Structure formats: C-alpha cells, structure tokens
Amino acid sequence: MKIIKLSLAVLLLNSCTAQNNGIKLKTNDNDNTLLWEISGKQLTAPSYLFGTFHLICKDDIPFGKQLNNAIKSTDEMYMEMDMDDPATMMGGLLLMNMRGDSTLKKLYKEEEYKKVESFFNDSLHMPIAMFQKMKPFFLMAMLYPKMLPCKTMSGVETELMKLAKENKKEIKGFETMAFQAAVFDSIPYTQQAKELLKTIDSLEAYKKYFDTMVRVYKSQQLNKIEDLFSKSEFGMQDNLDILLDKRNKNWVTQLNTILKKESVFIAVGAGHLVGDMGLINLLRKEGYTLRPIDNK
C-alpha cells in the first residue's frame, strides 16, 4: 500500500491519541485494524472508516472498545446502502431478479441444473423453483450459513445499525439498491451461474476458504485481506474493477463533499479498504490523513 509523506503537522496529529468532541482514541501500533480515522484537509472534526463482513458468527464480530466512541463522536453513519430504510429492502427483492427471460434453468446444462436443484432441495431444504429468476450471485449468499460453524450469526452491518440507533445516529447510503443490482447485472449471468455451481461442487473446500476469510477478518490484517481478493477460489478477481474499484472511486467523490459538512462513521465491506484502489489509499491521495485506530 502506498503511503504519502506526512508533514510535521500531520505527524503531530499521528501521536498516540487524538481528540474529537472530548473523546480520545488510541492509535493502533500498526496497520492491522479495521477502524481508521480520517482527518486533515481542513476538516473541522475527524470521521471514521470501518471495514465490515456481511455474515459472520455473532461472537466473532470484532468491535473494539473504541468503536462505539467513534460512532458517538460522529453526526451520521454511512453504509453502502441505507439499510434501515424498509423501502430499500423491499425494493431490493425485485431487483435481485435477472433481466429479460433469463432463468436459472436456462443457464445450465440439464445435468448441471439437476445438481443445483438437488443441493437446494437436500441441503437448503428449499425448492429451486422459488429462485428461477434470481441472480446466481445472490443465490450464493444463501450458501454462507452452511459455511459457518455456529447457529447464532449476524451481519456486521446489522450490529452497527443497532449501535447507530442506540446513539441516535441517522443511517445513510452511498448507493441505491437499484445501483447495486445493476452492478450484478453487468457481470454475465452465465459466469455467475458457473461460480454458483463451482461453490456447490466444492463446498467443503469453500468452507475452509471461508473459515480463512473469517480468521483473517477477525485478526484485522489488511494485507491478508487484500491477498484473499487475488485468490482464484474467491471468484472475484476478474470482476474487481466492477465490484470494488469503480465503486470506491464513486464513494470518494461523494466523501469529498460529505466530509466538509459533517463528521461521519463510514461502514463498508472490508475489501473496499485495501489495495491501491482501496478507500484508505484513495482518500490519502485526495490529501486526507488516515490513522489506524486501536480496535481491540
């Protein structure tokens, strides 16, 4: 990850503590943290950036002692979408469907479709007929609970929303559900179907890989999170520009306006933080100072 040279003023801000509305947050001793402070560029108050994981065992969610203080000190919370808006979630149910006359059955050869059908019937106990029009990448999310070793699971975003409500913070989103649905429309349905079948065929291997993802996320090692996105097993390396890079650029454009007006807590998938095109590096290129915050 490229690190820009820091001025003396920035170095002074990068001491062991920083203050925002009377709240002091300790700097992490290295970059292995999911929580980052955004300051500099004449901002009147710091904002915070946090990397999430969409589904995980509830006991494994890495909320450190300082995270709630960071939320308390900000004005609003920004997520990928406004997830506390019922209209957003209800509208999303329709936008999960494939366009045109595409159906799951049309995307597979007969023997492939039977394999997918059997898996949904036997392992998920749901008839595949219910999901004929759903985009295969959304169907893949239904497999995630099969990969977790616990019964009580939750999304990191879900738990952050609870903290936002406890602290009376409004939740806003960078994107609409329609935009996110369009992102998945831009990836050929045939390719999505192939990845779904590949996951079903190699579920045990994917469980081990998913376990690695969870362990790396819990350890908050950003360099290892970045490595995972280049692995062929993850099924994303050919679409990183669509799924991550372009969206990151768009969010930074929005943040250039948002950060001038208010202090915000930003919570997006951890994969959006890392790499040359990750939010940490892109925000630094815009002239902001990003400081790792202890999240233990």
Query: Looking at residue 2, what is its pLDDT?
Result: 34
Interatomic CA distance for residues 3 and 6, integer angstroms: 9
Q: Is the pLDDT of residue 12 over 70?
A: no
pLDDT of residue 178: 86
Domain carrying residue 31: 8-96+149-185+219-292
The reply to whether 41 falls in a domain is yes
Q: How far, in Å, CA of 156 to CA of 146, rounded?
A: 18
Whether 110 is covered by a domain: the verdict is no
- Number of compact structural domains in the chain: 1
Looking at the domain assignment, is residue 71 inside a domain?
Answer: yes
Q: If phi over 0 gives left and psi between -120 and 50 gives alpha, with beta otherwise, what is residue 156?
A: alpha
132 in a domain, yes or no? no
Any domain includes 259: yes
User: In which element (H, E) is residue 156 found?
Assistant: helix 156-166
The per-residue pLDDT for range 75-105, each reduced to its tens digit, is: 999 999 987 777 666 666 678 899 999 999 9
Q: Are 35 and 293 in contact (CB under 8 A)?
A: yes
Q: Say yes or no to pLDDT of 271 above 60.
A: yes
Among candidates 284, 27, 283, 59, which has minimal Cα distance to 156? 59
Considering the domain boundaries, does residue 172 fall inside one?
A: yes
Nearest Cα residue to 241 out of 229, 252, 232: 229
pLDDT grade for 180, boundaries at 50, 70 and 90: confident
Exposure string of 154-179, with b = 16+ CB inside 10 Å and e = fewer, is: bbbbeebbebbeeeebebbbbbbbee
pLDDT digits (tens, 9 = 90+) for 203-234: 888 888 889 999 999 999 999 998 887 665 55
Is 103 inside a domain boundary?
no
Q: Is residue 137 part of a domain?
A: no
